[in-house]
């Protein structure tokens, strides 16, 4: 009987330790799936290119954490008043507001790139 109780305690502690280990090891995804959707709705000619960069690539460099933004993503973040959970009309307004901002391509704005059928960068 004593061995059975001891085994139960050891198993219980083991399960709790595994649960904590896996719980702490997982990363939380903070996806904003409406941003690429809103971008594609506003600029439907670029929808295929948005899919090519796996949607998040419009604002985030490939292979980086989503807390890292490219220049366009940073401009978008600033246009949204540094808020991340903004939805709806405010996203469309921010997209329009940054069209006139200079892109990383010398002499071109984000709007120029979009008009030329290129993803902004």
Question: What average pLDDT does range 18-29 have in this prediction?
Answer: 46
What's the confidence (pLDDT) of residue 93? 92
Look at the block and give the residue holding tokens 């929808």.
47
Question: Positive or negative CA dihedral for 47, 52, 55, 59?
Answer: negative
Mean per-residue pLDDT, 95-103: 95
pLDDT at 117 over 60: yes
pLDDT at 13 over 50: no
**121 pLDDT tier (thresholds 50, 70, 90):** confident
Residue 4 has pLDDT above 70, yes or no: no
Among the listed ranges 27-31, 52-56, 67-71, 116-120, which one has the minimum average pLDDT value?
Answer: 27-31
């Amino acid at each position: 009987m004593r061995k059975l109780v001891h085994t139960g305690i050891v198993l219980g502690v083991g399960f709790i330790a595994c649960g904590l280990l896996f719980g702490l090891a997982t990363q939380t995804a903070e996806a904003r799936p409406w941003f690429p959707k809103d971008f594609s709705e506003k600029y439907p000619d670029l929808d295929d290119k948005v899919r090519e960069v796996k949607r998040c690539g419009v604002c985030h460099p490939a292979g980086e954490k989503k807390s890292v933004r490219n220049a366009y993503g940073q401009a978008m973040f600033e246009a949204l008043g540094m808020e991340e959970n903004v939805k709806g009309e405010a996203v469309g307004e921010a997209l329009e507001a940054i069209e006139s901002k200079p892109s990383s391509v010398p002499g071109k704005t984000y709007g120029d790139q979009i008009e030329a059928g290129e993803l902004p960068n």
